[in-house]
Structure 1
């Protein structure tokens, strides 16, 4: 059961991490965060070329854009159990190796099947890191959950925005080869592997989540509110990641401009993620923050629906602010759990269930776009979904703690 907390950012009774975390732990955390989105955000600016060369319909492209949430849901369920058996450091290490291998394999994708399989491998690696990093923060930085979540969210957005902005120029430099441009991001993933090699066996393994723990979470309204909020923000985020450049291109803007506009949505997250998560960690409740971010999203969708080419930079800014619901969700997961093992279980539940519920969203947007021939219906659909996102965010942000 959830109950009221006495403090906004509680100190666990027993900290499983070091009193003074090693610098290599900070490096491992930040380098991993840098790699949590380039596999996805690098694709949007060249999606049109990928579809053309691989013969993808808009619906199949919608399936491609929904692959992140599908992989995060399916693989995410296994993350805390794998960490209990092998140690979270080793699992994240294997995840980063899988990211590097998957992105490298996309270099050789001559058809849709291999491209999808290589993407799935990279996304599986990202999935385990997505789930385990909040627990790593709780275990290694138990008194600085908000600040450290903000720091790695900032790195996450930096990686996302860099991939979005640089992929089209990279492809141009590489003689128009989008495969090589996407493959370049494997190098960044490879850099994240050595710090985790150094951290293997550095601390005790987290407690394994038992059946009773999973059932208890499944009955907890706070856990379900977090899962619902995570699902709805993920739907919005991955539609923006997968389709926002195409929306701008369909409005008559160039591919490079569309990529830059999309990168704005991620660049804004670099400073805002840190500030938002740090502020959220100091507040007793985060409901008001969730409502404000939802209002920004509604305004951004309304602008894209009415006149996408009129004020494209403003719409990108509004959606960039709205996408900070992701670091807010991560921070709330860290704050709602009492200790590292609880956060690992809660993160597994909220992210896996959330991503699973988010799977239909990008597919529905792709299908609506294909069958209506425009973006009016998809954008109206996204605006409607923002209302339950605000509602679940308000519920998840209440001052409660899961034991």
Structure 2
């Protein structure tokens, strides 16, 4: 017996009543979203886990390795901007499936690359799956689960956090399993991306591309004059800015304050692991109101950074606990993309706008910290930078938490007769 194909009308309408296969379809989409969420960061954190061995194996300098670690920002911004246009042209489910196929190929072929530059090019291919999923997930959640935006956002952001943490923690053991081969370690994750494609396949038959004449297509330029769209963008950017600094520099922060490498690594791993339970809880709570959550999470992060400033070693575990909970601003910002937009086309465009610009701004964080440390050799100014970022997220999050919709602020050009 073959699985029933998804009819496009059934995918786009929640008002015609349930079809005989609606429950099965939604269950399949749920599995697909969970598996895709697991893959969204494996191409990123698997490299960081074996970066030293990779540099040695490909004879790469530290500066070139720095370029490789910057590629996710470029991919998430550049490829992400194309997401809504590609989805409109080819269909959301086809696009996600193709992106996962590209990611699988990239993960396999970069693992056998003979030069660092070929590795970099293939890494962009490996990052395609995460970049496309970043912008399409909010729209897919709104399309298939419009009455459970908070719950389903919690599902895929939790899966993202689990996948991210697993790739960071398991790549090195996988490399040992493969005979101390970093290539085996990073290439193994292609099995996960390939497996994640399977539940999307039954959805492809009914996923017809939309005609260009459809009136509900929302070009990104329409969002440029929306204050709410910019508030969500700056909220996302401020939180991602902090996250990039935390994952890239906090180990160095604790080493700078005389902690050994093992303890410093455990502290940052603890911080990262907290994103899993936080991602389970915050999106579901956000449906009931965002402003109190914004202020609460911002306050926890603020206390964390102030604590790191005045007692970096004595309260290290507490500061990482508070900061890890405060990182719940990330799943909150993704949830608000769906909550602050009415139409599916607006949600897709808003997701690309917020994450495309947001990731570009966030990518400056680690660079600024490096510059500040080079100038002063002190963590005072980098922590001040983090404090400013968390205050910015509080202000923009408070504004974005108003009961308004981006759809009402779109700058639509006059229609030609």
Q: Which TM-score band applies after superposition, normalised by the shorter structure?
A: 0.7 to 0.9
Which shifted more, 68-77 or 356-365? 356-365
The question of 1:56 aligning with 2:61 is answered yes
**Aligned-partner SS, 1:15:** coil
State whether structure 2 residue 279 is matched by structure 1 residue 273.
Answer: yes
- The whole-number CA distance in structure 2 between the counterparts of 1:45 and 1:247 is 18
In structure 2, the residue corresponding to 1:108 is in which secondary structure?
A: coil
Aligned partner of 1:295 in structure 2 is: 299
3-state SS of the aligned residue for 2:244? Answer: helix
Matched, 1:332 2:336: yes
The alpha carbon displacement at 1:89 in A equals 0.5
Q: Residue 177 of structure 1: CA displacement?
A: 3.4
Equivalent-residue separation in structure 2 for 1:304 and 1:48 (angstroms): 28
Q: Does 1:142 align with 2:120?
A: no
Determine the C-alpha separation between the residues in 1 that align with 2:381 and 2:54.
24
Aligned pair 1:224/2:246, yes or no? Answer: no
Q: CA deviation at 1:41?
A: 2.4
Contact 1:16/1:203, CA 8 A, preserved across alignment: no
Paired residues, what number? 388
Q: Tell me whether 1:161 sits opposite 2:160 in the alignment.
A: no
* Residue number among 360, 366, 377 corresponding to 2:370 in the alignment: 366
Separation (CA, whole Å) in 2 of partners of 1:47 and 1:251: 23
Structure 1 residues 74-85: aligned runs within 5 Å: 74-85=78-89
- 5+ long unaligned stretches in structure 2: 1-11, 408-417
Deviation string for 1:90-139 (max 9, x for gaps)?
Answer: 11111112222222233234543233223222223211110001000000
Question: Quick check: 1:389 aligned with 2:393?
Answer: yes
Q: Is the 8 A contact 2:83 2:136 kept in 1?
A: yes
Residue 107 of structure 2 contacts residue 123 of structure 2 at CA under 8 Å; is this kept in 1?
A: yes
CA change 1:306–1:106 in 2 (3 A) is: farther
Q: Distance in 2 between matches of 1:390 and 1:22?
A: 35
What SS does the corresponding residue of 2:287 show, helix, strand or coil?
A: helix
CA deviation after TM superposition for structure 1 residue 185, in Å: 2.0
Query: Aligned partners of 1:329, 1:255: CA distance in 2, in Å?
Result: 33
Q: Residue 102 of structure 1 contacts residue 121 of structure 1 at CA under 8 Å; is this kept in 2? A: yes
1:369-391 deviations in Å (ceiling 9; x for gaps):
45555544433322322221221
1:46 and 1:254 mapped to 2: Cα distance? 19
RMSD: 2.9
Matches within 5 A, 1:118-267: 118-203=122-207, 213-249=219-255, 257-267=263-273
> CA contact under 8 A between 1:89 and 1:201: conserved in structure 2?
no
- Say if 1:65 and 1:238, in contact at 8 Å, map to a contact too: no
Shift of 1:358: 2.3
SS of the residue corresponding to residue 42 of structure 1 reads helix
Greater RCO (CA < 8 Å, at least 6 residues apart): 1
Distance 1:152 1:64, change over 3 A: same
Q: Which moved more, 1:353-362 or 1:207-216?
A: 207-216
- Looking at structure 2, the residues matched to 264 and 388 of structure 1 have their Cα atoms a distance apart, in angstroms, of 25
Structure 1: unaligned runs, 5 residues or longer? 1-12
Q: 1:293 to 1:336 in 2, by over 3 A?
A: same
What is the distance in 1 between the residues matched to 2:165 and 2:129? Answer: 20
Alpha-carbon distance in 2 for matches of 1:236, 1:115: 28
CA-to-aligned-CA distance 1:193-243 (integer Å, 9 cap, x gap): 111222213456568688874333211111110111111112122222333
Q: How does 1:27-66 map to 2 (within 5 A)?
A: 27-51=31-55, 54-57=59-62, 61-66=65-70
Shift of 1:61: 4.8
- Select the structure of larger CA radius of gyration: 2
Task: Name the stretch that deviates more: 177-186 or 229-238.
Answer: 177-186
